[in-house]
């Protein structure tokens, strides 16, 4: 992930560093994890970085929860995109056992524990595909983002500060 973040920082060279961290936090796969790493590399002060990255990670979530199944249904009607959408659904649903068993807590932990293939994008996609009600999925995803922010704050800011890197 660090290499991807470094490449994106280099690509956006000259762009306001706050916008770079915000944009990275909005991207699937990187999300808040990548945003906080980028913010740390770009020397954005911690509180500012936290607010920017959390905001960037939250923005796509309502759109995913509300519209992704409708968008997928439309895309599956095309020969070209149907295999890609079905592959994405299959990959996301391959992780459904982790969420179905505990629903709210499962979704919260799935979003919050920064492991490959987890995060707010995938968690929201799974919640939408599994039909988890918004009154459960939105708080679970938001609390998961807070958990991820806590964990990634330690990794991106506090551990480097303790060992003298920053």
Chain segment 49-73, per-residue pLDDT in tens: 999 999 999 999 999 999 999 999 9
Model confidence over 110-134: pLDDT tens digits? 999 988 888 999 899 999 999 999 9
* Residue 26 structure tokens: 């909005």
Question: From its phi and psi, is residue 116 left (phi > 0), alpha (psi between -120 and 50) or beta?
Answer: beta
What is the residue extent of each domain of the chain?
2-58+149-162, 60-147
Of the candidates 43, 55, 36, 47, the residue with the CA atom closest to the CA atom of residue 156: 36
* Residue 19 structure tokens: 């916008």
Q: Which residue has the tokens 């560093």?
A: 17
DSSP string for 67-85: HHHHHHHHHTTSTTTHHHH
Average pLDDT estimate for 88-94: 84
Residues 38 and 17: their CA atoms lie apart, in Å, by 9
């Amino acid at each position: 992930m660090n290499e991807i973040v470094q490449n994106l920082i280099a690509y956006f060279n000259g762009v306001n560093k706050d916008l770079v961290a915000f944009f990275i936090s909005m991207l699937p796969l990187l999300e808040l994890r990548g945003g906080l790493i980028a913010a740390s590399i770009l020397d954005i002060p911690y509180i500012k970085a936290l607010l920017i990255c959390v905001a960037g990670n939250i923005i796509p979530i309502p759109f995913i929860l509300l519209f992704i199944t409708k968008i997928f249904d439309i895309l599956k009607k095309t020969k070209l995109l149907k295999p890609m959408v079905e592959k994405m659904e299959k990959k996301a649903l391959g992780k459904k056992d982790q969420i179905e068993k505990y629903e709210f807590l499962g979704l919260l932990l799935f979003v919050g524990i920064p492991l490959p293939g987890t995060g707010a994008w995938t968690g929201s996609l799974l919640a939408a595909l599994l039909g988890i009600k918004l009154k459960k999925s939105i708080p679970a995803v938001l609390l998961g983002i807070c958990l991820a922010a806590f964990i990634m704050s330690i990794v991106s800011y506090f551990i480097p500060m303790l060992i003298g890197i920053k």
